[in-house]
Amino acid sequence: MGVQSAKELIVYQKAYKLAMHIFDISKKFPDEERYALTSQIRRSSRSVCLNLREAWVKRRYEAHFISKLTDCDGENNETDTSLDFAKDCQYIKNEQHAELTSLCKEIGNMLGSMINNPNSFLLNK
């Protein structure tokens, strides 16, 4: 029967896992980062999932679908950059950084594949 919901996509599940892991580690960021890095990294990591859900409902229109996937990819890259800041500011350990940026890369590769090969996801094709 195929995938019925964006929640069933492996890329969504990985992005959700990443967002929740970031939420947990960002609880330990300094208070002065509350309205800066903490807020930003939580927002961008969650936005990957949110934009993916939005892309899923726009599968009737290839250009809209690809546009929302491109937004996902942009938010994923923003998350990756915020992880670099978190590491360099010594808010997370090198091992955490390596694990999370590896997951960002994996998510980015999956999104890139969807962007470059949208037809299997589109409706009415």
Average confidence (pLDDT) over 91-113: 98
Residue 124's pLDDT band (cuts 50, 70, 90): confident
Average confidence (pLDDT) over 96-113: 98
Is the confidence at residue 22, as pLDDT, over 60? yes
Residue 1's pLDDT band (cuts 50, 70, 90): low
Average confidence (pLDDT) over 28-49: 96
Number of other CB atoms surrounding residue 117 within 10 Å: 9
Q: What percent of the chain has pLDDT over 70?
A: 98
Give the DSSP per-residue string, 11-58: HHHHHHHHHHHHHHHHTTS-GGGIIIIIHHHHHHHHHHHHHHHHHHHT
